[in-house]
Amino acid sequence: MSDCIFCKIVDGSIPSKKVYEDDQILAFYDLEPQAPVHVLVIPKIHICCADAVTEENAGVIAHIFTKIPEITKSLGLEKGYRIVNNCGEHGCQSVKHMHFHILGGTQLGGRMT
């Protein structure tokens, strides 16, 4: 999508600090970290949000989850981490290209809201 920030990160027209990339997905540091380690993992294809996951595009989401152990190990998150996906207005999703936040590097709080 031409007006999507994360599609522009995928095509290289907006720079990012990459931590992992393959043919299907990209992981890069969040611009405004909310934990000592805060990385976003995105599908390269434009999927707007969790609401738009279908049988046809779900493979890339599964792929993200198969790579998260490798990505988190490379980030030194052996003691654990949190995966967050915000969806829609009530979920406070600000970038409409599906992404998973990986937060860690410290003891996180127990509340999620």
Instruction: Summarize as ranges the residues that interact with ligand AMP (CB under 6 A).
Output: 5, 14, 16, 30-32, 40, 86, 92-95
Cβ contact 98:4 at 8 Å: no
Cβ contact 97:86 at 8 Å: no
Q: How far is the CB of 62 from ligand AMP (least distance, A)?
A: 20
The secondary structure of 27-55 as a DSSP string is EEE-SS-SSSEEEEEEESS---SGGG--T
Q: Give the span between the Cα atoms of 107 and 68, in whole angstroms.
A: 19
Q: How far is the CB of 100 from ligand AMP (least distance, A)?
A: 9
Using alpha carbons, select from 66, 47, 58 the residue that is nearest to residue 4.
47
Q: How far is the CB of 64 from ligand AMP (least distance, A)?
A: 15
Measured from the CB atom, the residue of 78 and 111 that comes closer to ligand AMP is 111
Measured from the CB atom, the residue of 56 and 77 that comes closer to ligand AMP is 77
Q: Tell me whether residue 99 is one of the annotated catalytic residues.
A: yes
Measured from the CB atom, the residue of 3 and 78 that comes closer to ligand AMP is 3
Q: Which residues are catalytic?
A: 99
